[in-house]
Amino acid sequence: MRSLLFAVLVLFSLPGIANDNEQRIRQLEEKLRCLVCQNQTLADSNAELAGDLRKQVRDQVAAGRSDEEIIGYLVQRYGDFVLYEPPFKATTALLWVGPFLLFAAAVGFLIVAVRRRRNAPQETALVPDEKRLVERVLGPAPPAQGPPGQAPPAGDAR
C-alpha cells in the first residue's frame, strides 16, 4: 500500500517539475538572442540555429546546470552578442551609447542647419541696370500669365 501511495505521489509531482523546467527554459530563451535574426530572442525565432541553441539550453537544464552556468557557457562560446541585453563594458559601450550619440549628432546637425538658414543673406531685388543686363543676356522676360482661361492684362503689347 505504501509503495502504491508513493508511486501516485511521484506521478503527480512530475508534471509540476516539468512545468517548472519549461518555465525556466522559456525564461532563459527570453534572455538569449538568436544569432541569425539578431532582433529576436531564442524563444521567438524560427531559425535553424535558434532551434539548435534552444536544444542546448534544454539539454543543459536537463543536466542540472544553473542558469548562470548555462548563460556563461553560451557567452563563452558565442560572446556577449548572444545575450539579448548585453552587459555594459568596454566592448559593448558603443552598443549602449551609440543610439544616444547618433541622436545628439542629428540634433546638432539640425541646429546648425537652422542657424545657417536663418543667418543666410536675404535676396535683394535687381536694380534697373541689373534688370537691363539680364534682359540683354537672357532675352526679354516672358509675359506674366494669369490663371487659365483669363485674358492677358490690358496694355500688354507682347
Predicted confidence (pLDDT) per residue in 102-112, tens digit:
999 999 999 99
In this predicted structure, the answer to whether residue 51 has a pLDDT above a threshold of 60 is: yes
Check whether 143 has a pLDDT greater than 80.
Answer: no
> Which of 44-48, 78-82, 97-101 has the highest average model confidence (pLDDT)?
97-101
For residue 16 the three cell numbers come to: 509540476
Burial status of residue 76 (CB atoms within 10 A of its CB: 0-12, 13-18, 19 or more) = exposed
Report yes or no: 32 and 83 within 8 Å, Cβ to Cβ.
yes
